[in-house]
Chains A and B, each alone.
Chain A
Amino acid sequence: MGDHLDELEAYSVFIIREAFAKIKNLGMLWSVGKDSTVLLWLARKAFFGRVPFPLIHVDTSFKIPEMIQYRDHFVKEWGMQLVVGQNKKALAEGMNHTKGRLVCCTALKTVALQEVIQAQGYQGVLLGIRRDEEGTRAKERVFSPRGKAFEWDFKDQPPELWDQFQTDYPADVHVRIHPLLQWTELNIWEYILREKIPVLDLYFSKNGRRYRSLGCAPCTASVESNASTVQEIIEELKSTHLSERAGRAQDQADSHAMQKLRVKGYM
């Protein structure tokens, strides 16, 4: 070993295998974005091509249409099992971002995720969040327990020594597993390049703009960019000073928006 991507890959594979060996009912959240697609790729690495647990997609119904097409295509091609979570009740009552971005995110993403976790009885969910995305994620553990009400007790997180993660939990606790915490945005793209992982076209520049982070159509803005290949995105990232989630409206809704969302169980 010596190459950093090899080390990151090995560590993530280690985490995914630990999760599968120790957590009974496991699922993997797939937002179809670049990070969770890399996570999916790593799961295929860990299990030699055949992922032994279902993918969970939280569909807010406001996702950009290409995202859904892409999702369905690769579920079929890679032989995955897909579970779609949706807060139908909130949608029927007309929930959307105009009711307040944090209210909308909580209802359509957090609550939808909680419902699907409860309905399927998942004890653990693999997520593709990274420490370099924003401050509260930087403080996450690899195995991060969520209590009955799905809340994140960030003031008293379990110790994580020498890759000995907390893998035993009482029945009413579920655990979020974060195999990509160590990765940076740049690492993600370098790995996509090396492994030739197919990602959504939305990430590549069209008419001088591209998406750097993907979410719901009304709350996700594209950024100015001429990067139209993976290689060009890597070059761009090496020189940019704009934060990755600058195009995500919910982050800017409040001084501690992400903390407020994440304490309640947001990804």
Chain B
Amino acid sequence: MNSAPLSIVITGEVDHGKSSVVGGLLIETGTVPQSQIEKVKQICQKSGKEFEPAFLLDAFEEEQNLGITIDISQIHFATAARNYRLIDSPGHRDFLKNMVSGSSAADAALILVDAQSGVTEQTRRHCYLLKLLGIKTAIVLINKIDLFQYAEDSFLKVQADCQAFLNQLGLAVSVFIPLSAKFGVNLSRLSDQTPWYRGPTLLQALDQISFSKAPESAPVRFSVQDVYKTTDRRVIVGRVESGRIEKGAELKIWPSGQKIKVATIEKWNAPQVQRADQSDCVGITLVEEAFVERGKVIAPVPSDSSVTEYFQATIFWMGKERARIGDSFKIKLLTQEMECKIESILGIVDTNSLKQVQMSGDFIDRNEVADVRIRLSSPLFMDVFQEINASGRFVLIQDYRVVGGGIVTQTRAASVMESLKAAKELRHVTESWWRSFLKATSWRLSGFIATYVLVFWFTDNKKMALTIGGVEAFSKILLFFIHERIWNHFSIGKKEIQPVVVWFTGLPCAGKTTLAEKLYEKLKQEGLKVEHLDGDRVRSLFPMSDFSREGRDSHVQRVGFLASKLAQNGVFVVASFVSPFASGRRFVRGICPRFIEVYVSTPLVVCEQRDVKGMYKKARQGKIDHFTGVSDPYEVPSNPEVVINTQELSVEQSVDLILNALKKLEPAAVRRKWTW
């Protein structure tokens, strides 16, 4: 067995001696062939420079002349314990995007700090980015301690500074090591120069890093790269980004949500494959064919993740131009690609103080980190980065170039769930039993005192006053209890209003809005609180909703959510939406406890004759895509509470029919039992 190398990125401010540490490591582990060291030494001689281990990596002439690293370099080395892939990243601010590129591929980080200059702004920025990119383990190297005659207190001072910042950031440090890369101190052997240091050498510290892969039990995420068709079959190729796929697994294709079952898992010139784990690249075939293409994600029914067109993220900006609110980009998340917009910038993160600074404008500058809200032109499948890394990170592309990288911090579903939870809590604000008891006692006590005072005043007899007061207090408590229990069984004069959501669905021009408006008026006349939500009016509030199946469904879901919230707060809702898909309507029914679906069944021919806004005509001419009834399907409700045929019934008659259904609706009230 040949285990994979651990990828380590080394970061540090320019001139802190990063490439020297790397060069030193390579020489001490015997990685660099002597011939290569000789070659670099020759080059140095020719150009009259002193040999530096850094030149082994800084291969570009410009890098050696300037003495800086421009781009990342990767080099392999091995200790007795394991193999490493070391990623040397540039420290200079101008090349931050290269540092991010290098770090995004790493499992752990070496953070290099110069003992002389200590923790600088750039060090802090690097640490912040490492944390953002998901690095979990770090080793801090405090270099150039030779400049302080190897004094312990100068090391401890820098260590304390680092520790404070990294704790605040939440980046775990396994060890702090005093180093002098130039003199090979504590790289592979503990030096006599630092007798006070008893920790591991750099190489030992590396070998001590424990790194565990995500468990196989993690939720499955399979990103579809392509579909290869041969004469008799279709093989879906892609990568397992999380979890494990097994033969026979029942999953779904997202964002559409179509069910599939895995028939086979395929690799060429390899033994039979039964399962595929994280980072495996395989082909899969399905038991029953389904529509799949590049850019889909295969996953089980997501619990914490969602298909969403609106989410919150933290992004790192690498574009030459500033990013502004309203700017459009292409987003790439797994193999999904979509147009998107920055809808709002919530704040720029000050990587120095770790505080979110107040917005100074509405833009993000190069190398800045910002919290933003992003709106997609159509929903994508994604997870919150903390939950599943691979499906919670993305890049932004503008004019062919990657201009930003980001992680998903909150998806729409997450925020909806939170507000639903909050709503439930609100409804629990009632009197607790002990409060009622206290109130009852204090009321009775004041009654008793009043009786006592009155009787004493008239009779001047303390004993009698006390007895009458006591009997009165006790008997009234008992009487009240019995009286209440008896009244509980009579509903005379009791009025309980439980709001209902009345949902009109049907083809465009079927007459939904007309009926809804009439019903709205009727309910209003009854003195009820009522709201009318209409398709056309609400559309203008959600301008980004498109007319694809997903777009329409999430639109209906949003309106349904709003309706359910209104109903929860005692408002009747009359909603009139084409809502062509059963899935969207089912969602709304699910979240509204008292729900009436009214299917306005006007046939297509009649609707088309009415054509109030000339939309059917345009659709027929091909000027409008996705027009329900013409170029998009309408799924007739299978079990509506009310069906209205507008050709046979007048508006008045129709509304009466709906009011009848409202009256018949079972109260969702609590049943009372005869209890004493």
Contact = CB atoms under 8 A, between A and B. Distances in A.
A17 B225 contact: yes
Interface in A1-53: 1-7, 9-11, 13-14, 17-18, 20-21, 44-49
A66 interface: no
Given A11-B279, A138-B75, A255-B46, A168 B57 contact: no
B267 A135 contact: no
Contacts of B56: 135
Interface residues of A, number: 57
Contacts of A44: 268-269
A148 to B, nearest CB: 14
Contacts of B76: 132, 184
Contacts of B393: 161-162
B588 to A, nearest CB: 36
Contacts, number: 158
A139 interface: yes
Interface stretch (A82-90, A151-159, A225-233): A151-159
Interface in B95-127: 97-98, 100-101, 104
B36 interface: yes
Most A CB atoms within 10 A — which of B56, B57, B226? B226
A136 B46 CA distance: 20
B318 A256 contact: no
Contacts of B226: 17, 20-21
A136 B101 contact: no
Contact of B397 (A134, A168, A182, A195): A168
B73 A14 contact: no
B218 to A, nearest CB: 14
Contacts of A45: 267-269
Contacts of A135: 56-60, 73
B60 A7 contact: no
B279 A2 contact: no
Contacts of A184: 76
Contacts of B34: 241
Nearest to B47: A255
B80 to A, nearest CB: 14
Contacts of B330: 168
A66 to B, nearest CB: 25
A3 B4 CA distance: 7
A259 B283 CA distance: 39
A131 B75 contact: yes
B73 A157 contact: no
B98 A246 contact: no
Contact of B4 (A4, A46, A131, A259): A4
B662 interface: no
A241 B402 contact: no
Contacts of A65: none
A144 B179 CA distance: 36
B440 to A, nearest CB: 64
Contacts of A241: 30, 33-35
A48 B235 contact: yes
A38 B360 CA distance: 54
A169 interface: yes
Contact of B57 (A6, A138, A159, A190): A138
B380 to A, nearest CB: 14
Contact of A7 (B4, B235, B283, B395): B4
Interface residues of B, number: 65
Interface string A172-208: 0000000001101000001000010000000000000
A48 B332 contact: no
B2 A190 contact: yes
Interface in B40-86: 42-43, 46-47, 56-62, 70-76, 83, 85
Interface string B383-402: 00000001001110100111
A136 B75 CA distance: 12
A244 to B, nearest CB: 9
Given A4-B4, A132-B76, A161-B101, A48 B400 contact: no
B402 A2 contact: no
A4 B2 contact: yes
Contacts of A46: 237, 268
B33 A242 contact: yes
Given A14-B225, A160-B101, A255-B46, A243 B35 contact: yes
Given A48-B268, A241-B34, A166 B401 contact: yes
A10 B281 contact: yes
A256 B279 CA distance: 37
B328 to A, nearest CB: 15
A232 B71 CA distance: 36
B1 A2 contact: yes
B279 A7 contact: yes
Nearest to B58: A135
A5 to B, nearest CB: 6
Contact of A14 (B57, B59, B281): B281
A1 B280 contact: yes
A267 B239 CA distance: 29
Contacts of B235: 48
Contacts of A1: 277-280
B330 to A, nearest CB: 8
Contacts of B47: 255
Interface of A: 1-7, 9-11, 13-14, 17-18, 20-21, 44-49, 131-132, 134-136, 138-139, 141, 154-155, 157-162, 164, 166, 168-170, 181-182, 184, 190, 195, 240-243, 246, 255-256, 258-259
Interface of B: 1-5, 30, 33-36, 42-43, 46-47, 56-62, 70-76, 83, 85, 97-98, 100-101, 104, 225-226, 228, 235, 237, 239, 266-269, 277-281, 283, 294, 318, 330, 332, 335, 390, 393-395, 397, 400-402, 405
Given A3-B1, A14-B239, A256-B60, 11 more contacts: A21-B226, A44-B268, A44-B269, A48-B266, A132-B75, A135-B57, A141-B101, A162-B390, A169-B400, A182-B85, A242-B35
8 contacts: A47-B268, A135-B56, A135-B59, A138-B75, A141-B101, A161-B405, A190-B2, A255-B61
